[in-house]
Amino acid sequence: MFEEPWLKGEMAAVLQGGFLLANNLSETGSLGAMKKEEWGTVGRPIIDSMKELCGQGQGEHKEEVYWGKRVLCIIWSKLLEKERGRDVETSWKENALFSVLSQLPDINRTVLYEVVKSMDFCKIYVELLLCLPPVDLCVEVEHLVQYASTDATPEDVRLLLEVWRGLWRGSWGGTETFSSVFADQFSDAPSRASKRAKLDPETMTSSSNSVLFHFFRAVREIKDDIHSSDACCFALSNCLDSIYSSYLLDQPVKLSAHEALDRLAVEVAHAKENNTKERFDLVKAICEAQKDLTAVETPSKVKPAGLTFTKAAQTVLCLLQLWEDKGLLKASENFNHSRNAVTLSNSIHRVLQSLQKYSGPETEERESANELKNALMKISEFLTVNKPAKKSFDTASIAVAIIDHRLEGFQLFAPLFVAELSWALDSSEWISCLERNKTVFKQREHLMKLVSVLIAKCQTDEDIQNCRRLKDLVVELFCELPMSDKNDTLIDVTHLSTKGMHGHLPQALTEGFSEELNLAFNCIIQGGAQSNYDLAVSAIARVAFQNPEATLRQCCHLAVANVGAHVHLAKVLKRLPGLGAQPSSEEERRKAGQSLLCRCMQEIVAHRLSSSQEQEHFLQFLVALMEPSSGDSGRSFVPPHDTFQTFILPHLSCPSAHPYRLELCLRLLQSALLLKPPDDSTHWVMDCSPFPLLYCLCQLLSESCRCWGVASEAVHVSMEAKELLTSVIGTLSEVMGKEVAVAPSGWSRALFWLYHKVEALDWTVRFHLKALWGDHFKNEVPSSLLDVCDLPEQEWSGMKLSQYGQGTGLLAWLECCTLSEPVQKMMLDHLCLDVDSPDSVGMFSKGLLVALSQTLAWCTVGEWARVVQAVKRLLSSGRLHVPYSLEYVDFLPLLDLRAFACELRLSVLLLRVFQLLCGSSCADWLPPPGWAHAGRLYASSIRGALDSLEAKAQAGTWPSGEPRPAGGAGSQEVLFVLTQLFCHVMHVHVMMPGQAEALFLCALEILTLYETLQAAHPKASSSSESENTRHFLKTITDNLDNDHMKSVLQQKIAQL
């Protein structure tokens, strides 16, 4: 229920006074019996009072319509109160208008229709009609037809035709509250009005759509009362449009934005030409034109009842014949420029087009269609209507008004508005409209069109200020896009140019970008982005949209140069996959080449990686970008395939060109191989010719087996690279082995190809491919190995190798121990050695000493660790005899050294190895880098022994299982062993060529551990013993040639 009174106080009194005065002036004594011809005299008080009321809105058009609608509702409701004989006892309770209606005298329909005509309330009248239930609407139209066709005047004809036109293009259902209250007046049950918009098709067919029948009947009745060409055109266009939408239009016509705008431009131009007011209301004219356009392109929901196509066509033929005979359809200058004449011309054109394809169900309808077509073609020949010229500026103005006021279909015109280059070049208002309506154009498609327009505008527009406004607007629109659209837009911009918009804009528009770029990255580098990555992502996306290449180049530079920056930058870039997107098809990828990010990072590799820290940052940055994203796509910002093609394959194909980068590319390859593929998908490496790749890696590994003896022009693979190669080959073999196991028949040919190719390489290489071979091939080793190791024939076989002649079995055995833990266990378990024979153990020990000397310098850190592990197992099992002599002490203290026998004997064994290597027969065996590497391996073994000693000292447990008291003999043994290890290290240091820094540092670590244990156990040695130890150690260091190293060690010894 509408609680607020419709007219309050003085306003209700004004309306009441006007009606009461008119009631007194009526010749019949009552407005309820007033005749049409009385209105000129009686209606003046009513019109005056209504003008006074409708002026309450301070002259605003909307307010005038608002109050006019209220007043017309009241008058109409008063009429219904009389016609329906409402009970006063119920009306005052249920009717929201009772208080106003009770103050007015009774009226009839003449008063209602005359008020509509006099106040020009036709549109309000139609709007209220459209609020009615279908049955009541039909009744009201019938009343109107009856009134207008009786003693019809030109004003009656105009009212009837305008109501017809309004209902034809109108829509069902009101939206305003008082329209609902008004609709309630037509029902005894108020709840019925709330259902007025839920139209029943059967009801519409039987009742509401008979409205069309009443209108066609009315036009036949008043045809003789129409005496102007304008009214004839109006009536004919109503008839033809009704026929078109009810019988000839099967489905809605979808117009393009261009077509719709052209049609609106014609209608608006006519409205402006016929405008009689001081100010032309463009928005209102567009709304009216849109209603006509919507109505004419939308079919009627149901066919009208009581009126067939034949009857409707015959009515039109009758009207044409009559008015043509009267000369009302003759062309003239005034006639040609009449708006109704233009409307008629358009209606005829539509109907004729549809009649060309019309095929009615019956012969009678087809005949009527042909007759109507011939008649319309005849009249169209002399309806030469000159349409107003359409200018682009007028069209642009219409589009601006539609978008500014969010008129119907404004989304349809937005793409046309941003793409129409002539509008952008001719008017700054175009840019202003964009600025006012940013939300309308906040779409990726609109944005890219604006980018194209901006580029074109910069090439032709001399006003750089307008271009700058448009560029700022485009950037702002991009920043307001959702993240998914931002990434799609970044893809489009990157395809436009690697420099994005800046690749096509003049320098005047790119000034200040460097500062903006630095500011965007500062928030990340300085740590501000750690708390809010969304801000960082938005900042980077903004600059990337303007210049992707500069943004990515700066990103790569900062990731490499700044500590920790690569972590944050990788997180940001992974939120912007559009910057790293590649074309989907393989052919497009080949044409596009490397991604923009890969090209930027290649520049970094070529010019920036000057330190190990920068290489580490680069590696971690690229690995982070290769990791799959956590989103639904699971894609990588930089796919591993791209990393392989850009940063790995070139260095593997030509490693001698960049030897110091081979390690970096191997680390990259290892990291890329470890990335897990999505579920049920093939590993990425299987698309990169994996078998040739594996063979290439095996070649490099084979070359590394003779790294200290290669010629200067050959490929040099460092020991660090060799260790990486071993790891990469193992990982790649595992990956390929899993794929081969899934479809062995498909890969068998490639498998045998690889096996035969690696036969020409070092025999140890094939052991690293065991995960790929599976059970397909036996382990092939030098035949001499089988002389010292009893291996099962089902899995092992010997082969003749020239470099492995008689007596090289232990060398091959030791080389096998370096390969892997499982192979080492196999070698130890199947070693042929009679431990009960001292001669056999002695011969084996001497042979192993020689084999260690031959193997040491060619082992990586990992391989040497496995060799040391094998030696320890041989020592602990009694199969290796290493006699310990006291050549470095004058007497043996009464100490129990059984717990440290392994460490002491290992140290002595390594000392014997270096004594053999540093002898005159082997002096020139290794180049200086080889000696340095051997020193590092020896130092690593001694560090392992130090770790073991420290652990035993902390545990305080001895072989017998009896704990030793802290500070007792246990600490004395440890200190004694440390002095022995120090002497061994110093002896090796003196023997080795060059300055072995690794041994110097190892000696310092021994002294540091000695000092730590001595401080923890001060009673372990007396002052005299400590003095003797210091003197002894100082004497050992006197043999060093390097004065600096000697000075540092002796200072450390003096502190003991």
604-627 confidence digits (pLDDT tens): 888 778 788 888 999 999 999 998
Cβ neighbours around 349 below 10 Å, total: 14
User: Per-residue pLDDT for 265 more than 80?
Assistant: yes
* Mean pLDDT to the nearest integer, 992-1021: 90
| Maximum pairwise Cα distance, the chain | 154
Helices (H), 207-280: 211-221, 229-243, 257-273
Element (H or E) spanning 37, and its range?
A: none
Provide the pLDDT for residue 785.
94
CB 849 within 8 A of CB 798: no
User: Per-residue pLDDT for 1053 more than 50?
Assistant: yes
Tell me the chain's radius of gyration from C-alpha atoms.
50
Highest mean pLDDT among 246-260, 531-545, 642-656, 1042-1056: 1042-1056
86 or 521: which carries more pLDDT confidence?
A: 521
Report the distance separating Cα 653 and Cα 660, nearest Å: 14
* Mean pLDDT to the nearest integer, 362-383: 84
11-57 confidence digits (pLDDT tens): 888 888 888 898 888 887 788 889 888 898 899 999 998 888 886 44
The two three-digit tokens of residue 796, written as one number: 């092992």
Q: How confident is the model at residue 187 (pLDDT cuts 50, 70, 90)?
A: low
User: Per-residue pLDDT for 200 more than 50?
Assistant: no
CB 684 within 8 A of CB 627: no
The two three-digit tokens of residue 497, written as one number: 């140019």
Q: How confident is the model at residue 959 (pLDDT cuts 50, 70, 90)?
A: very low
Could you give the dihedral angle defined by the CA atoms of residues 514, 515, 516 and 520, in that order, rounded to the nearest 10 degrees? 100
Report the distance separating Cα 453 and Cα 448, nearest Å: 9
654 or 759: which carries more pLDDT confidence?
A: 759
Decide: helix, strand or coil at residue 698: helix
* Mean pLDDT to the nearest integer, 500-514: 90
Provide the pLDDT for residue 729.
95
69 or 549: which carries more pLDDT confidence?
A: 549
Report the distance separating Cα 522 and Cα 896, nearest Å: 65
**What percent of the chain stands above pLDDT 90?**
39
Report the distance separating Cα 248 and Cα 266, nearest Å: 24
CB 814 within 8 A of CB 866: no
What's the predicted TM-score (pTM) here?
A: 0.78
Nearest to 940 by CA among 898, 906, 990, 901: 906
343-358 confidence digits (pLDDT tens): 888 899 999 988 888 7
Q: How confident is the model at residue 385 (pLDDT cuts 50, 70, 90)?
A: low
* Mean pLDDT to the nearest integer, 1026-1052: 91
If phi > 0 it is left, if psi is from -120 to 50 it is alpha, else beta; for residue 603 that is alpha
* Mean pLDDT to the nearest integer, 270-283: 80
CB 431 within 8 A of CB 473: yes
For residue 259, the Cα-to-chain-centroid distance in whole angstroms is: 35
Highest mean pLDDT among 410-414, 557-561, 941-945: 941-945
Sequence-ordered list of residues with C-beta below 8 angstroms from that of 568, at least 6 positions apart, any chain:
524, 525, 529, 530, 533, 536
Nearest to 139 by CA among 203, 211, 51, 60: 211
Per DSSP, 831 falls in state B
Provide the pLDDT for residue 982.
95
Provide the pLDDT for residue 189.
38
CB 947 within 8 A of CB 866: no
Q: How confident is the model at residue 86 (pLDDT cuts 50, 70, 90)?
A: low
Report the distance separating Cα 238 and Cα 244, nearest Å: 10
Nearest to 881 by CA among 853, 909, 910: 909
Provide the pLDDT for residue 828.
95
Nearest to 866 by CA among 933, 822, 821: 821
* Mean pLDDT to the nearest integer, 1032-1040: 91
Report the distance separating Cα 371 and Cα 367, nearest Å: 6
Provide the pLDDT for residue 1047.
94
